[in-house]
Chain A
Amino acid sequence: MNMLDDFMVRAALAGIGVALAAAPLGCFVVWRRMAYFGDATAHASILGVALALTFDVWIFGGVLVTALLMASTISVLSGRGYAMDTMLGVLAHSALAFGLVAVSFLQGVRVDLMAYLFGDILAVSRMDIAVVWSGALLVLVLLWWRWSSLLTATLNPELARASGIAPQREQLILTLALAIVVAVAIKVVGVLLIAAMLLIPAATARNFSSTPERMAVLATLIGMVTVIAGIAGSFHLDTPTGPTIVSVGTLCFVAASLLALALGSLRRKNPQR
């Protein structure tokens, strides 16, 4: 596998893997208005990095556990009638702050903090690719398996219950999927930009979708194209890769929104077509 010797190819593979899972999951994050939820979970993962380095365990494992803990905490609290936007704002930023403080205590280990905050996609190993793809496929299988139930629970919890679906269980599955995506995406885009990988492709796809399935598929394609274009762009412009991917995604989103606006006004002018 000589191809994998090329760091650009490895980066593209890792990025596509993340987009594959993040984009369809991101649709649920958008539909359920969980944007801050994703942010808080992602930010908490820096604490996971610190803990993993302290106890000298696999970083992916540490991140997965803290992301899961954070996501479950929020899930539990959200049912208790707290002001959720405030709560999430507090949790997201305090988790990040505590994580950064914890990392600074690590003496002897030279930690490249920037790599965790903004990702280090050009340095992914074959092992990293294997982890990203395993996680991504697991998330896709989860979403595929529960799709109809997840969608019904997202629409309305009472309607779901009347159909014999437990909304809490579906919420738990999304929480688990989110933790996995955060854990695999940290190397690619870093904790600060993971939420962007979830939200931007989904928001872009919304303009051209009439059904949830179409939006999910379109978001996945947009996510993958964005990753490839972002990596290529960062190579040519010599810019940091994670932020470049997100910037490309944002440009796509703006272009798609303008296009949708233009198409909409065109349709209004010529209603017979």
Chain B
Amino acid sequence: MRLVTLRAATLRHSGAPVLENVDFHIDRGEIVTILGPNGSGKSTLLRALIGALPLSSGTMEKVADLKIGYVPQKLHIDPTLPLTVRRFLSLPKRISNAAAQTALEEAGVAGLGQRQMTQLSGGQFQRVLLARALLSRPDLLILDEATQGLDQPGSAAFYQMIASVRRQLGCAVLMVSHELHVVMAASDRVICLNGHVCCEGAPAQVATAPEYRALFGTGTLGTLALYRHDHDHSHDAAGHRHPGTSCDHQHGHSGEPHEHA
């Protein structure tokens, strides 16, 4: 069952187009991961889906009464704001102690209710954010780089948790991530963004796509390439959308010597 469908959507950020001509959909129970370099429009797409950013053009269809649970990229809590985990879960709607307890257990942080948010470790904090997102029994769980700042074992554990939440609640999961190997293992479908949809499909399929390799390289080096890479490629004149895996960018690779004699 289609939960959300975007057709030919263009999104602007203070006038300039960030994403152009995006077709996107997500089905119930699916785990979809969005990959892309910084500034490629990943967070912009999520903001449009939660309704924080209107479409400049194109259409968005959501099923009636779609409940979205949102885990933000990072949440800085000012140290002047006293806030227990329990109180945080009751924002903005008050919830029962039983519901709070269940959500904390589901996210693997039962027993932290009376702790101050500012005293939590990075991993605990992300799990509390997840618990809050689970309170509304969402149909769609959206995570914006939820494992930023966690170490390798921490983020691996977090993704396992997401997978088990999906099994328990049957919700769809849409997440943005930079951690390629974990993402590749945990996703049903991967979407590669760079101002438009570069390529998409099953992880194995996308990993071998030339567009993906151009953006991220291959193997372990891929993670490094992500940060070293220049994205000054030019798009073809035909337009910006490149259906399937047939986009023909000329990627400029700063790390690779182009001119061999």
**Chains A and B bind each other:** yes
**Chain A contacts to B: CB under 8 angstroms:** 30-33, 148-149, 151-152, 154-156, 158-165, 203, 206, 209-215
Q: Please, which residues of chain B bring their CB within 8 A of the CB of A33?
A: 78
Of the 9-residue stretches B46-54, B102-110, B206-214, which lies at the interface with chain A? B46-54
Q: Please, which residues of chain A bring their CB within 8 A of the CB of B112?
A: none
In the complex, the answer to whether A211 meets B92 with C-beta atoms within 8 Å is: no
In the complex, the answer to whether A158 meets B80 with C-beta atoms within 8 Å is: no
Given contacts A158-B72, A159-B75, A162-B68, contact A209 B82 (CB under 8 A): yes
| Extra pairs beyond A158-B52, A162-B68 (13, CB < 8 Å) | A31-B78, A33-B78, A148-B93, A149-B92, A156-B76, A158-B47, A160-B92, A161-B50, A209-B82, A210-B116, A211-B82, A212-B81, A214-B82
Select from chain A the residue with minimum beta-carbon distance to B52. A161
Report if B242 contacts A (CB, 8 A).
no
**24 A-B residue pairings within 8 Å (CB atoms):** A33-B78, A152-B92, A155-B77, A155-B88, A156-B72, A156-B75, A156-B76, A158-B70, A158-B73, A159-B72, A161-B47, A161-B51, A162-B52, A162-B70, A162-B142, A163-B93, A165-B92, A206-B80, A210-B114, A211-B82, A211-B84, A212-B82, A212-B83, A215-B82
Select from chain B the residue with minimum beta-carbon distance to A213. B87
A155–B91 Cα distance when bound, in Å, is: 9
Q: How far is the CB of A31 from chain B (nearest CB, A)?
A: 4
A158–B72 Cα distance when bound, in Å, is: 7
Q: Please, which residues of chain B bring their CB within 8 A of the CB of A158?
A: 47, 50, 52, 70, 72-73
In the complex, the answer to whether B81 meets A148 with C-beta atoms within 8 Å is: no
In the complex, the answer to whether A210 meets B84 with C-beta atoms within 8 Å is: yes
Q: Please, which residues of chain B bring their CB within 8 A of the CB of A214?
A: 82
Q: Please, which residues of chain B bring their CB within 8 A of the CB of A160?
A: 92
Select from chain A the residue with minimum beta-carbon distance to B77. A155
- Range for the number of chain B residues in contact with chain A: 20 to 34
Q: How far is the CB of B11 from chain A (nearest CB, A)?
A: 15
Q: Which of A151, A155, A162, A203 has most chain B Cβ within 10 Å? A: A162
Q: Please, which residues of chain B bring their CB within 8 A of the CB of A30?
A: 80
In the complex, the answer to whether B82 meets A148 with C-beta atoms within 8 Å is: no
Q: Please, which residues of chain A bring their CB within 8 A of the CB of B92?
A: 148-149, 151-152, 160, 163, 165
Select from chain A the residue with minimum beta-carbon distance to B79. A206
A30–B78 Cα distance when bound, in Å, is: 9
Q: Please, which residues of chain A bring their CB within 8 A of the CB of B68?
A: 162
Select from chain B the residue with minimum beta-carbon distance to A167. B52
Q: Mostly helix, strand, loop or mixed at chain A's interface?
A: helix
Q: Please, which residues of chain B bring their CB within 8 A of the CB of A211?
A: 82-84, 87
Q: Please, which residues of chain A bring their CB within 8 A of the CB of B77?
A: 155
A156–B73 Cα distance when bound, in Å, is: 11
Q: Which of B68, B82, B88, B114 has most chain A Cβ within 10 Å? A: B82
Select from chain B the residue with minimum beta-carbon distance to A28. B81
Select from chain B the residue with minimum beta-carbon distance to A165. B92
Q: How far is the CB of A208 from chain B (nearest CB, A)?
A: 9
A151–B114 Cα distance when bound, in Å, is: 18
Select from chain A the residue with minimum beta-carbon distance to B91. A152
Q: Considering the complex of A and B, which 7 residue pairs feature the smallest CB-CB distances, nearest first? A: A162-B70, A161-B52, A152-B92, A209-B82, A148-B92, A162-B50, A31-B81
Q: Which of A149, A152, A163, A214 has most chain B Cβ within 10 Å? A: A163
In B134-173, which residues have CB < 8 Å from any A CB?
142
A155–B82 Cα distance when bound, in Å, is: 11
A210–B84 Cα distance when bound, in Å, is: 7
Q: How far is the CB of B134 from chain A (nearest CB, A)?
A: 13
Q: Which of B73, B78, B83, B91 has most chain A Cβ within 10 Å? A: B91
A81–B52 Cα distance when bound, in Å, is: 19
In the complex, the answer to whether B82 meets A210 with C-beta atoms within 8 Å is: yes
Given contacts A31-B81, A162-B68, A210-B116, contact A151 B91 (CB under 8 A): yes
A215–B82 Cα distance when bound, in Å, is: 8
Select from chain B the residue with minimum beta-carbon distance to A211. B87
Q: How far is the CB of B105 from chain A (nearest CB, A)?
A: 22
A152–B72 Cα distance when bound, in Å, is: 13
Q: How far is the CB of B41 from chain A (nearest CB, A)?
A: 16
Q: Please, which residues of chain B bring their CB within 8 A of the CB of A165?
A: 92
B8-52 near A? 1/0 per residue, CB < 8 Å: 000000000000000000000000000000000000000100111
Select from chain B the residue with minimum beta-carbon distance to A32. B78
In B76-129, which residues have CB < 8 Å from any A CB?
76-78, 80-84, 87-88, 91-94, 114, 116
A162–B52 Cα distance when bound, in Å, is: 7
Find B82's partner among A152, A163, A203, A206 (CB 8 Å cutoff).
A206
Q: How far is the CB of B83 from chain A (nearest CB, A)?
A: 6
Q: Please, which residues of chain A bring their CB within 8 A of the CB of B72?
A: 156, 158-159, 162
